[in-house]
Structure 1
Amino acid sequence: MERVEAVVVGAGVVGLAVARALAQRGLETIVLESEAAIGTGTSSRNSEVIHAGLYYPQGSWKARLCVQGRNRLYPYAAERGIEHRRCGKLVVATSEAQLAALHGVVDAAARNGVTDLQWLDAHQARVLEPRLACVAAVLSPSTGVIDSHGYMLALQADLEAAGGAVAFASPVAEVQCRSQGHVVSVGGASPMTLEAGVLVNAAGLWAPSLAARFQGLAPQHVPSAHFAKGSYYALSGRAPFSRLIYPVPEAAGLGVHLTLDLGGQARFGPDVEWIVPDAQGRLDYRVDPMRADSFYAEIRRYWPELPDGSLRPAYSGVRPKLQAPGEPARDFWLQGPAEHGLAGLVNLFGIESPGLTAALALADVAADLALPTR
């Protein structure tokens, strides 16, 4: 049995960031990834938006870590040469009835420490985006987009420069959680057994099911997993907007929003479709072309000129939810030894948006939970 100081399960953006943080604190760190490449799950199936931190409840992990992570991510991307663009975002009210909710966005953002929002009347909004229809809008200049794969490659490079490594095609078969180190049995073509004082479960969608197999972790510390699929549809032709466009949040969520990739291609989505894994534990990422039919009316509230038949299937992602359909949204669950009583063990549950933005800040919290005395 090989002894290492830290094992991180999952080589998505959060797992790589956590491993980087641990390695830079001087721990010999190995990332176990069941797939053959980094970031094949949620980290590569999202809008690649750098969020400003507007909507999340005050004091929540999502609010705090989004703002902290965003403040660190732009300099990090610039220093590492990661392609990104601070393009800005408009949150738009398309009726007088939505103005109160739009003011609520400004108030919530201020409570979260986001102080750069700009209120625009309809004319001011159309000066920025002439094809936009709205009665008012809020400009978030700190919102942007980033090359998520380039971001993860930079995190991996930092990890390796600090002496860490990623082991691919290395699924976790069994874990024995003990008071003096955790024993991790690894399957795949090259089985091995590792003993580590620190174990971080950053398995994303599969974090709850992995934790359920941790021998020594009481069942009450393992949440139920729920899977919310979101489909994206690409616009045929170039978008007439240079900024992201989000409807004002309503009871059902953030609505159908327009995001832009680094090449200026517009995508609309995601919607929400609750799904379950198949008998082999696989998720269906196929995009149903018919689901785009419901997008047109929503988009035309802020872009009336959207042509018929102009949306085509792009891709989908699945968000790891801690709440069931119809239940209130839940915060990230960063679970450490103070909760479950097992030294060195950290479970990261429900790491959905804004996980990409928050990753650098989240990683430091996870490392602090694993190493409370260092």
Structure 2
Amino acid sequence: MLPRLKQTLQSLKRTARISKAQAIKNLSTQIKKEDVPTEKLDCVVIGAGVVGIAIARELASKGREVLVLDSASTFGTGTSSRNSEVIHAGIYYPPDSLKALFCVRGRELLYRYCYEHGVPCKQIGKLIVATGPLEISKLNELMNRGTQNGVDNLKMLEGFEAMKMEPELQCKKALLSPVSGIVDSHSLMLSLVGEAENNGTTFSYNSTVIGGHLEGNCLHLYIVESKDLENWNGDYPLHPELVLVPKLVVNSAGLSSLALAKRFHGLDNGIIPPGFFARGCYFTLSSTKVPPFEHLIYPIPEDGGLGVHVTLDLDGQLKFGPDVEWIDGIDDVSSFLNK
């Protein structure tokens, strides 16, 4: 099925052109089946970021036929390539929450995967620092929370102990998390893609899911070629070039996942969580400077983020950030351009 589907996708990308119909936000559900090629298949993963790739690999390893769609020209071009590349220990999340469970177990599995598949990573440890007396109680709360979550080897340090480890640091106390680390995110994604493909997964890039509709228990996905969507000015209706009807759909479209879910007509909007968007900036220390730190350095977390922190990559490059700026949507760049 998937080889034939891949040929269909490639053929459509060579020959199909978008019909003039209606705006994407009002995408019609009245599509005549004889007008648009329709393919049934097993699993579709929307989005080839690290989450989508990892899910595709796992599904394929269990014998499922998997197609991964991404609007970009390759994998990992969104938030998967714009982050601190930190392997977190599981300290911050409420005990018994799914985030705590998945972070602690996921960290163990991620280190194991990296070691077994030769993905560059390093367990360099993290210091969460209290810079004043008023922050010490919050540091104690993090210690207790991490312990409840099952994070190993957490240790509370006096200021002089932390500053002995990191002479350029100034703090009153610090929480040491030895199991925190860093990973080469691109190498990780490259490895996951290779594993997924070896298990039969098909990747179709430059393929955008513009919406769909629920029919029975199946989602019908509307697909267009990305470049045709980029050339579309909204003055005419948009019809799909292909309709996919999978048994299983995974929406891992990152920042676009909520908007995409709302374009699946017939899907109960009540199950779609609200979205809150934030943007952050990083600053890189000049490569001519010797990095002043050997550990990850984090402040006491703030509302909506972990605070501006210091991270190192595997090449020794040091970054400060990100800060947190709440924005109205993923396309809101006005305040960023004024910086």
When normalised by structure 2's length, the TM-score is 0.80
1:199 matched to 2:225? The reply is no
Take 2:208 and 2:308, find their aligned partners in 1: how far apart are those partners? 36
When normalised by structure 1's length, the TM-score is 0.73
Q: What secondary structure is seen at the aligned counterpart in 1 of 2:128?
A: strand
Find the partner of 1:19 among 33, 56, 59: 56
**1:284 — aligned with what?**
333
What per-residue deviation string (whole Å, max 9, x for no partner) do you get for residues 195-235 of structure 1? 21101111110111000011220122223322100111112
**1:108 — aligned with what?**
145
- The one-letter amino acid of 1:217's match is L
RMSD: 2.0
Find the partner of 1:269 among 304, 321, 326: 321
Q: Does the C-alpha gap of structure 1 residues 227 and 79 become closer, same or farther in structure 2, counting only changes over 3 Å?
A: same
Give the drift of 1:241: 0.5
Q: Does the C-alpha gap of structure 1 residues 179 and 22 become closer, same or farther in structure 2, counting only changes over 3 Å?
A: farther
**1:244 — aligned with what?**
296
Take 1:286 and 1:21, find their aligned partners in 2: how far apart are those partners? 40
Q: Is the 8 A contact 1:52 1:67 kept in 2?
A: yes
Q: Is the 8 A contact 1:238 1:265 kept in 2?
A: no
**2:4 — aligned with what?**
none
Identity %: 44
Q: Is the 8 A contact 1:238 1:266 kept in 2?
A: no
What per-residue deviation string (whole Å, max 9, x for no partner) do you get for residues 79-108 of structure 1? 111111111101111122221111111101
Unaligned runs of at least 5 residues, structure 2: 1-37, 229-240
Alignment of 1:1-374 (within 5 A): 1-188=38-225, 191-236=241-286, 237-250=289-302, 253-277=305-329, 282=331, 284=333, 290=339
Q: Is the 8 A contact 2:305 2:324 kept in 1?
A: no
- The one-letter amino acid of 2:134's match is A
- The one-letter amino acid of 1:34's match is S
What per-residue deviation string (whole Å, max 9, x for no partner) do you get for residues 14-53 of structure 1? 1111111111111110011011111111111110000001
Q: What secondary structure is seen at the aligned counterpart in 2 of 1:231?
A: coil
Give the drift of 1:6: 0.4
Q: Is the 8 A contact 2:124 2:294 kept in 1?
A: yes
Give the drift of 1:263: 1.3
Unaligned runs of at least 5 residues, structure 1: 291-374
Q: Is the 8 A contact 1:90 1:140 kept in 2?
A: yes
Take 1:153 and 1:37, find their aligned partners in 2: how far apart are those partners? 11
What per-residue deviation string (whole Å, max 9, x for no partner) do you get for residues 227-280 of structure 1? 100111112323211001011235574322111111111111111112234xxx
- The one-letter amino acid of 1:218's match is D
Take 2:304 and 2:212, find their aligned partners in 1: how far apart are those partners? 39
**2:236 — aligned with what?**
none
Take 1:250 and 1:174, find their aligned partners in 2: how far apart are those partners? 36
What per-residue deviation string (whole Å, max 9, x for no partner) do you get for residues 121-146 of structure 1? 12221221111111211111111111
Take 1:238 and 1:285, find their aligned partners in 2: how far apart are those partners? 35
Q: Which runs of 4+ in 1 moved over 3 A?
A: 250-253, 281-290
Give the drift of 1:154: 1.1
Take 1:283 and 1:39, find their aligned partners in 2: how far apart are those partners? 21
Q: Which moved further from structure 2: 124-133 or 281-290?
A: 281-290
**1:304 — aligned with what?**
none
Q: Is the 8 A contact 2:139 2:300 kept in 1?
A: yes
